[in-house]
Amino acid sequence: MICRSLVLASTSPFRRELLGRLGFPFATANPRTDESPLPDEVPEDTALRLSEAKARAAAPLFPDALVIGSDQVAVLDGQVYGKPGTHGNAVKQLRAMRGRTVNFFTGLCLLDARTGQARVRGVPTLVTFRALSDEEIESYLRREQPYQCTGAAKSEGLGIAIIARQCGDDPNALIGLPLIALCDLLKEAGCPVL
């Protein structure tokens, strides 16, 4: 069982639900982090940097905790697709991604607030989208409204119907919190889940 208090530096209900699957208590905190990429920053580096920045932003509120930060980017042909925010942006994203394979790269950080030591991992998930018609895109968006999901792909819901296949080491990474990597990081930190 976990030997330290845990904090999830996220307001995402999806990440909260995923962490809850491990069966131990945890607190949540809003990391209030600027998620803008740095000039000339590689998208995968953005996700890694932001996962650590989110954990560090929440750490002062929980000085004895292990703080979990996570961030995700979707990358296609070097272009980053984030949370669309609006219906129009979601349509544009899904039209660009239909029939294509997109790298959903999730950065994960476990920060020891006592020592300041950060353990950071990146977990890629390659997602191939179905060759959706405009009507199918509209139907999906009307029903799911995934405007706060990276790439407008809410795979834990109806979004599974727009995906042809996915390839990655952790099925939870696509939802936003790679639990397999997190279990490894917790064990490295001296706090194994089992």
By residue count, the chain amounts to 194
Would you state the pLDDT for residue 4? 86
Is pLDDT above 80 for 19? yes
The verdict on domain 6-188 having CATH code 3.90.950.10 is yes
**Distance, CA of 190 to CA of 185 (rounded, Å):** 9
Compute CA distances 1 → 5, 31, 59, 62, 128, whole Å. 11, 26, 22, 20, 37
The stretch 138-165 carries a mean pLDDT of 95
Average pLDDT over the chain, rounded to an integer: 95
pLDDT band at 181 (very low <50, low <70, confident <90, very high): very high
The stretch 173-187 carries a mean pLDDT of 96
Is pLDDT above 90 for 3? no
Is pLDDT above 80 for 149? yes
DSSP secondary structure code for residue 29 in this structure: -
Domain spans of the chain?
6-188
**Distance, CA of 16 to CA of 8 (rounded, Å):** 7
**Distance, CA of 80 to CA of 96 (rounded, Å):** 11
Asked whether 115 and 76 are in contact (CB, 8 A), the reply is no
Active site residue 40: no
**What six digits make up the tokens of 122?**
């990146």
pLDDT band at 1 (very low <50, low <70, confident <90, very high): low
Asked whether 37 and 82 are in contact (CB, 8 A), the reply is no
pLDDT tens digits, residue range 28-50? 999 999 989 999 999 999 999 99
- Which residue of the set 45, 64, 71, 184 is catalytic? 71
Three-state secondary-structure class, residue 131: coil
